[in-house]
């Protein structure tokens, strides 16, 4: 963009405009969180105040107490359970599948792998599949169980996890397996003791996708579980919307609690997230 400027002065103005535009985008990305967190600590009078109060207010934790009394911790525990089981079984299934796809030849391998990759865009469109999935889950009696949501979250994020891990196992030289074979190691030993330790970053990237996918999911949970003790955090927040209406204090407090784990994990693992996202579209 700076190339357009001929004179030095012209250049400077352009640079300032450029920086302002970019600053605007940076602000746009974080302003909802910033404003939400701020609102969650204000008393109702400060929330409604004009000009808006940025620092000149006394923080209160009333809204947090309200949502805690409303059972938000219970919902967080449900979400933690869902995420933990999704991550655990999801990465295990993904690693085993990726190993199978990469290191063995079998009839239909290509077709089956095609189906796995097909699962990536399919799960992006999973809400179109919500009606059939719901009727189907009802028919086989799997709705409203403690394992209902983990089962679906594992499935929705498994294709991506398999793909990330397959890409990584691919890059481990096959000679490692072969020499271990000659030494008399079993296939399972090779998998658990040689391959898995070498795929740690990819395992973490897959786990990250499984975590984000299960922690943030809402639409599926809104139809697949009904019992209050099975409601995860996003569903609870949605229900608060109906319950608290326009009381933004409790709503933003609940929202703040829900994004804390995501932001913490994102802060440490954003590089892994990017490497997973760009898999299959950029040659490394």
Partner 1 sequence: MHRRINLGLILITPGFVFIFMFLIFPIFYALGLSFFNTNYLQVEGFAGFGNYIRILLREETANSIGRGLLMSIIAAGFTMFIGFWLAYWVNSRSGIMAMSLQLVGLVPWVMSMVVGALLWKWILAGDLGLLNHLFRTLGLPLVNAFGNKVSSMTSLIFVVSWRTIGYSMVMLLAGMKTVPQELIEAAMMDGAGILKQIFHVILPLIKTPLLVSGITVLMSNINNVTVPMVLTGGGPVNATNVVALELYRMGFVNSQYGMASALAALVIIINVFLIAGYMRVVKWHF
Show the binding pattern over residues 86-105: x = contacts partner 1 (CB under 8 A), - = does not.
Answer: -------xx-xx-xxxxxxx
Using an 8 Å Cβ cutoff, are 74 and 229 in contact?
yes
Long-range contacts of 173-181 (CB under 8 A, 24+ apart): 174/103, 177/103
Q: Which stretch in 6-14, 62-70, 199-207, 233-241 sits in contact with partner 1 by CB under 8 A? A: 233-241
Interacting residues with partner 1 between 24 and 53 (CB under 8 A): 25-26, 28-33, 35-36, 39, 47-48, 50-52
Residues 6+ apart with CB under 8 A from 126: 133, 156, 220
Q: Which stretch in 60-68, 70-78, 108-116, 193-201 sits in contact with partner 1 by CB under 8 A? A: 108-116
- Of the two residues 8 and 20, which places its CB atom closer to partner 1 in the complex? 20
- Residue 170 Cβ vs partner 1, minimum distance, rounded to whole Å: 8
- Of the two residues 58 and 175, which places its CB atom closer to partner 1 in the complex? 175
Q: Up-side HSE of residue 246: CA atoms within 13 Å toward CB?
A: 2
Interacting residues with partner 1 between 181 and 220 (CB under 8 A): 187, 212, 215-219
Show the binding pattern over residues 48-77: x = contacts partner 1 (CB under 8 A), - = does not.
Answer: x-xxx-------------------------
Using an 8 Å Cβ cutoff, are 152 and 220 in contact?
yes
Using an 8 Å Cβ cutoff, are 248 and 39 in contact?
yes
- Residue 229 Cβ vs partner 1, minimum distance, rounded to whole Å: 20
Interacting residues with partner 1 between 131 and 160 (CB under 8 A): 131-136, 138, 151-152, 154-156, 158-159
- Of the two residues 49 and 84, which places its CB atom closer to partner 1 in the complex? 49
Alpha-carbon dihedral 251, 252, 253, 254, rounded to 10 degrees: 60
Q: What is the DSSP letter of 3?
A: G
Q: Largest Cα–Cα distance of the chain, in whole Å?
A: 76
Q: Exactly one of 45, 56, 125, 183 binds partner 1 (CB under 8 A); which one? A: 125
Q: Exactly one of 128, 179, 226, 264 binds partner 1 (CB under 8 A); which one? A: 128
Distance CA 258, CA 256 (A): 5
The tokens describing 267, both together, are 């802060």
| Residue 11 near partner 1 by CB under 8 A | no
Distance CA 265, CA 213 (A): 13
């Amino acid at each position: 963009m700076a190339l357009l400027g001929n004179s030095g002065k012209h250049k400077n103005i352009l640079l300032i405009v450029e920086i302002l535009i970019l600053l605007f985008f940076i602000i746009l990305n974080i302003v909802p969180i910033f404003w939400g967190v701020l609102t969650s600590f204000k008393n109702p009078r400060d929330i409604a105040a004009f000009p808006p109060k940025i620092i000149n207010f006394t923080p209160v934790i009333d809204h947090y107490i309200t949502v805690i009394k409303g059972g938000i911790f219970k919902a967080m525990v449900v979400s933690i359970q869902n995420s933990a089981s999704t991550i655990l079984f999801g990465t295990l299934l993904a690693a085993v599948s990726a190993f199978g796809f990469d290191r063995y030849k079998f009839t239909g391998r290509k077709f089956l792998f095609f189906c796995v990759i097909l699962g990536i865009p399919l799960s992006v469109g999973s809400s179109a599949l919500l009606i059939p999935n719901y009727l189907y889950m009802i028919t086989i009696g799997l709705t409203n169980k403690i394992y209902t949501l983990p089962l679906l979250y594992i499935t929705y994020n498994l294709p991506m996890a398999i793909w990330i891990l397959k890409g990584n196992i691919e890059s481990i030289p096959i000679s490692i397996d072969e020499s271990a074979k000659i030494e008399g190691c079993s296939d399972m030993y090779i998998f658990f003791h040689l391959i898995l330790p070498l795929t740690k970053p990819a395992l973490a990237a897959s786990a990250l996708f499984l975590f984000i996918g299960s922690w943030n999911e809402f639409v599926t949970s809104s139809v697949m579980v009904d019992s209050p003790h099975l409601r995860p955090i996003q569903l609870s927040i949605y229900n608060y919307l109906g319950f608290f209406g326009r009381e933004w204090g409790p709503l933003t407090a609940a929202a703040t609690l829900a994004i804390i784990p995501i932001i913490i994990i994102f802060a440490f693992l954003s590089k892994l997230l990017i490497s997973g996202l760009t898999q299959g579209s950029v040659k490394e």
